[in-house]
Every structure is written in structure tokens, then in C-alpha cells.
Amino acid sequence: MKGQLITLEGIDGSGKSTAARHIASKLAETLPERKLVLTAEPTAGKVGQILREELARANNIETESSAAQHMQELFLFMADHAQHLTKTVLPSLEAGAIVLSDRYADSTAAYQGVTLRGIVPDPVQWIQNIYSPWNLPPDKTLLFVLDPRSALERMQSRQGREKFERLEFLRSVDDNFRRMAALEPQRFVQIDAGQDAENVAEEAIKAILHLTCK
């Protein structure tokens, strides 16, 4: 592969989507000769759209999702990822681009690693095992780390499930992300997402330039 794959990960409200836009415009200034592809999961494709509708629905109803619904959601995320990989990520890398993906397979391990608790044993590892024969690991993963309570405060305007439930969920997802980062310190760069947006983008750019200018 000629290009580099950089993924941005973090809990909801960690500010990674805002950072992605800042990073993309700064990178375009700093490395004008490089092609840059800013992409995301869930994608804007067919499966990604189904997922967004499902997530909105699950967020707004009071009843718990069933085990079958959680499994279905996992495989929809995986199907969306497979399409993202083959239609966008691989061809862009082949063309030599820097690919910045706002969420990627690690989100599936971290989030569905929580929703599948009690349904499959050790769900994070289980999901990673399913991915490992065909997923392309990122060259770098920037993990935007923010205390779940602060993340929830940032999202206060967003509607959804009862606050406590949401906080507990985000804490578990945050926990999964931190464990995954600790196990792969050479791939993950942890960024303090509590700083102002300018500094967050600055730190992220430094990590990316370190990789692309090697």
C-alpha cells in the first residue's frame, strides 16, 4: 500500500468529528502534494443509512434491545465496514492518499463489545477475532480521550436515552477503548480531548506528520 490509513476514535461527544475537519484542512495546507481522503463509519452508503436509522430508533425508545437486535447491529456495522474497506479505503491507499477515517473497526470492538456483553463471551476479543483475517489495521489510531461525564455534558443538546444509562454505557465504551490502546501502544496515540479544539487538532497533526514524514 502506498498511502497511510489514520483512524480517529473516541466516545460520543469526544469531539473527534470536529477535530477531523480541523485536521483535514490543516493537513491540506501542510502537505499540499498529498491526496487526502476524509471518510467515516457508519458510511453514507446503504448499510450506513440503515444503521443511522436503527441507532436513532434505539436511542429514542425506552425498551431494551433484544440479543437478536444487538447481533443484527453488529453484523450491519461489519457489513458497512467491509464495503467501506473495499470501495473507499483500499482504492484510496492504493492511489497513495492519506486516508482519515472518523471511526473504523475499533469502534465496533469498543461499542458492540459493550452491547454484546452477556450474549457472547469476551465480546471485544470475539469481535476482533472475526475481523482479524480480513481487516486492514490502521497505520495510526488517534484516540480522543475525554471523561464520559464531560462528553455527556457536551452532548446535552442531543436527545436520547436517560442520562444515567447513557453515562454507564459511555463509561464501558471508554474502558474498552483504553484497554485496546494499552494493548497496542505503537498504533494508538491518545489525545487529551478536554483541551480546546485548536490544541486537540495540533496534537493530532503532530502524530500524523510524524508518521507521514518518516
E-strand ranges in 89-148 read 98-102, 140-145
* Residue listed under C-alpha cell 440479543: 67
CB-nearer residue toward ligand TYD: 135 or 212: 135
Task: Please report whether residue 84 would count as binding ligand TYD according to CB under 6 A.
Answer: no
> To which H or E segment does residue 190 belong?
strand 188-192
How many of the chain's residues bind ligand TYD (CB under 6 A)? 11
Taking contact as CB under 6 A, which single stretch among the options 83-91, 101-109, 128-136, 180-188 is the one that binds ligand TYD? 101-109
**Cell (9 digits) for 130:** 472475526
Examine residue 103 and tell whether it contacts ligand TYD (CB under 6 A): yes
State how far the Cα of 178 lies from the Cα of 173, in Å rounded to an integer.
9
Query: Under the criterion CB under 6 A, does residue 144 sit at the interface with ligand TYD?
Result: no
The binder of ligand TYD chosen from 88, 89, 111, 145 (CB under 6 A): 111
Q: Which of 5, 27, 37, 77 binds ligand TYD (CB under 6 A)?
A: 77
Residue 9 binding ligand TYD, by CB under 6 A: no
Nearest to 206 by CA among 158, 162, 140, 145: 140
Residue 42 Ramachandran class (φ > 0 left, ψ -120 to 50 alpha, else beta): beta
Tell me which residues touch ligand TYD (CB under 6 A). Answer: 12, 17, 41-42, 55, 77, 103, 107-108, 111-112
